[in-house]
Structure 1
């Protein structure tokens, strides 16, 4: 049976993975390479490829050589497909849930070492962190899979004329951002499971029977926690006032 300390190490690893996944989630929100459109008309789009993200569409143009020409996509735009509008909302929720999960996870691990007797709050905070991580993973996974499905179906977007992008591309493929986002969602999901497994580890430790003396000392994190305090100032003064002789003088 795994000891509580081993489970704590796994939970600490889950916090690190969750924090890195949250950073990659914010990166996924800002990147434009969700869909890669191949266009035949290179008179405007010199590279023949346009990057369609959830916030903007970008391409290289003769008008501004060496720089990306980007047009923003708003959730209120009529031409914006449903999967992009939903992605704008859910990806921001994923960032918020991930941040809240990191804060809850850090508080939970801190309480493990600094809490004294009341362990009910620790279980609740661990549960909260795990649920928030799972919500973040789900909120990012849904728009990623939806947009990937749209690319595989070769769905088009009716961009307005000022975007200078043809609605039906020659072909389109999945961008690298979706791949990064899928890996990030899986990592966030694993972090949530590690925090939710905390209650099973706690139950295993609490129901653990007496140990064999040959197994060594019990883990200091196991069993009831006690609070050790320094002697009160009055006690120290009494000790000094009464005086305590050195035992070696009595032997003399």
Structure 2
């Protein structure tokens, strides 16, 4: 299979690359939850962004301009369990997506060099597809836990220095969740393409009698 004919495989590689970038971006963003509450100190409506690694609070100064102050979580087990679980899910998804991208490059290189056999039982496309599908599943789990936390109104005991309430008046999903969902869909599509490509390569043509 010449490399110029690997349109589907190249499309799968492009999807893996975009999915991995979106996964990394969503992991670092604080916009997993948007909190609206009244600050007990200044007695004004306040907006906070609650992410998996940090929380950011928007303060309005005397000039009516917003300033954002972010606080990093400490690794002392004080943060809510679902956030700790999501941290691991997002990290694993990022690493799996990276490995899936690398194996796709190896698979395309093997095709270009003519190293792929039609009767091969072990093919990098299959490994890449499996890695991408697992990464997609982990991302979906992270989004699901975040959604459950919002719908169930799970409180978060932030350190006193954060000046954040245990529960806000209103909370909703943020843009980081949407990016994670898109990344999960792209990982799933890429994994499906890679697995189907492996089947096409591994198919042995019937000899004519």
Which interval holds the TM-score relative to the shorter structure?
A: 0.7 to 0.9
- How many positions carry a matched residue from both structures? 207
1:179 paired residue number: 178
1:54 paired residue number: 52
Counterpart CA distance in 1 for 2:43 and 2:188 is 39
Counterpart CA distance in 1 for 2:137 and 2:192 is 13
1:24 paired residue number: 22
1:188 paired residue number: 187
1:141-192 deviation line (CA, Å, top 9, x unaligned): 2111111111112211111221111112111011111111011101101101
**Structure 1 position 13 matched with structure 2 position 11:** yes
1:67 paired residue number: 67
Name which of structure 1's ranges 101-110 and 113-122 shifts more when overlaid on structure 2.
113-122
* Pair 172,51 (structure 1): closer, same or farther in 2 beyond 3 Å: same
- Cα deviation for residue 8 of structure 1 reads 2.8
1:148 paired residue number: 147
Structure 2 residues not aligned, in runs of 5+: none
* Pair 86,75 (structure 1): closer, same or farther in 2 beyond 3 Å: farther
| Equivalent residues of 2:60, 2:67 under 8 A apart | no
Structure 1 residues not aligned, in runs of 5+: 211-252
Name which of structure 1's ranges 16-25 and 196-205 shifts more when overlaid on structure 2.
196-205
What TM-score do you get using the length of structure 1 for normalisation? 0.73
* Pair 196,146 (structure 1): closer, same or farther in 2 beyond 3 Å: same
- Cα deviation for residue 100 of structure 1 reads 0.7
- Cα deviation for residue 106 of structure 1 reads 0.8
**Structure 1 position 197 matched with structure 2 position 189:** no
Name which of structure 1's ranges 136-145 and 187-196 shifts more when overlaid on structure 2.
136-145
Counterpart CA distance in 2 for 1:7 and 1:150 is 46
Give the strand-richer structure, 1 or 2.
2
What TM-score do you get using the length of structure 2 for normalisation? 0.87
- Cα deviation for residue 82 of structure 1 reads 1.3
* Pair 116,25 (structure 1): closer, same or farther in 2 beyond 3 Å: closer
Counterpart CA distance in 2 for 1:132 and 1:91 is 14
* Pair 143,102 (structure 1): closer, same or farther in 2 beyond 3 Å: same
| Equivalent residues of 1:45, 1:59 under 8 A apart | no
Tell me, what secondary structure is at the counterpart of 1:77?
Answer: coil
1:113 paired residue number: 112
2:159 paired residue number: 160
* Pair 171,153 (structure 1): closer, same or farther in 2 beyond 3 Å: same
1:95 paired residue number: 94
Q: RMSD between aligned alpha carbons?
A: 2.9
- Cα deviation for residue 116 of structure 1 reads 4.6
1:247 paired residue number: none
| Equivalent residues of 2:16, 2:186 under 8 A apart | yes
